[in-house]
């Protein structure tokens, strides 16, 4: 009886250690990934080159580090299932543009941006990495990066600035637009297109 209990305790401890170690390494991976991605983005924003060139470089970084398809599906919510395959394809394409435009318009103007790494905590399947982003002439901002699949193929699935999630906000924006436009996915795609064109024209 005693030996059985001992065995149980040992195996439970093993499991706990194993799980702890995995969580630890996932946290380490996630933090390293955020640090590397942040450094890359900051280098582009603070570096030389025209706004156009910087946009191209940021697109490459975003494509490599953000789970664009996952974020896109999340933002459409229940309407993703209602969309036809053709609509889904068009939506994906335009969402990619929207994301790039939003990120570049947020980052682009802040030459001299720096960030410091904070603590890392697990969040279900994901890992949250805290950073503080400093932009010249602006108050420092707490930015949390939600990293999916941090162990093997880390990707950014959400960015939470001062407690507000980018993808949740985007989803409620789309949901509200749809509810005021007869739930027409075509209307949404058209509005997204117009918005991208407008923002590109204005810089």
Partner 1 sequence: MRAFFRSTPRLGHRVWVPSLLLIVLAGCATPPPASDPDALADYRQTNDPLEPTNRVFYAINNGLDTAILKPAAQAYKFLLPEAVRTGIHHMLGNLGTPVQLSNDMLEGKPRRAGDTTMRFLINSTVGVLGFFDVAKRWGYPDHDADFGMTLAKWGVGEGPYLYLPVLGPTDPRDFAGFGVDIAADPFTWVGQGTTVQVLGYSKWALGALDTRSRLLGEIDSIKKTALDPYATFRSLYRQHRHSQIEEMENDNRATVPVWFPQPAPAH
- Positions touching partner 1 (CB under 8 A) are 78, 98, 101-102, 105-106, 109, 119, 137-139, 162-165, 168-169, 172-177, 179-180, 183, 188, 191-192, 195, 199, 202
Is the CB of 8 or the CB of 96 nearer to partner 1?
A: 96
Closest distance to partner 1 from the beta carbon of 31 (Å): 13
Is the CB of 84 or the CB of 169 nearer to partner 1?
A: 169
Closest distance to partner 1 from the beta carbon of 169 (Å): 5
CA distance 53 to 155: 24
Is the CB of 4 or the CB of 81 nearer to partner 1?
A: 81
Is the CB of 9 or the CB of 197 nearer to partner 1?
A: 197
Closest distance to partner 1 from the beta carbon of 120 (Å): 9
**H-type alpha helices, the chain:** 2-46, 51-65, 68-76, 79-82, 85-107, 166-179, 185-201
User: Residue 193: which residues within 8 A CB-CB, separation 6 or more?
Assistant: 94
Given a contact cutoff of 8 angstroms between Cβ atoms, the answer to whether 156 and 147 are in contact is yes
| Residue count (the chain) | 203
Closest CA to 99 of 175, 144, 158, 185: 158
Closest distance to partner 1 from the beta carbon of 153 (Å): 26
């Amino acid at each position: 009886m005693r030996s059985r209990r001992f065995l149980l305790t040992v195996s439970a401890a093993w499991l706990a250690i194993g799980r702890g170690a995995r969580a630890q390494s996932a946290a380490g991976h996630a933090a390293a990934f955020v640090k590397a991605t942040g450094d890359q983005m900051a280098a582009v924003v603070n570096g030389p080159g025209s706004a156009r060139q910087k946009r191209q470089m940021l697109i490459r970084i975003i494509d490599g580090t953000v789970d664009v398809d996952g974020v896109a599906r999340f933002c459409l919510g229940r309407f993703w299932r209602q969309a036809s395959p053709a609509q889904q394809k068009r939506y994906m394409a335009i969402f990619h543009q929207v994301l790039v435009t939003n990120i570049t318009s947020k980052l682009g103007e802040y030459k001299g941006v720096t960030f410091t790494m904070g603590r890392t905590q697990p969040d279900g399947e994901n890992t949250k990495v805290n950073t503080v982003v400093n932009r010249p002439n602006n108050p420092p901002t707490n930015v949390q990066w939600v990293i999916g699949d941090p162990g093997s193929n880390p990707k950014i699935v959400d960015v939470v600035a001062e407690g507000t999630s980018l993808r949740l906000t985007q989803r409620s924006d789309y949901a509200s637009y749809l509810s005021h436009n007869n739930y027409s996915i075509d209307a949404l795609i058209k509005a997204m297109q117009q918005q991208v064109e407008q923002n590109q024209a204005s810089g």
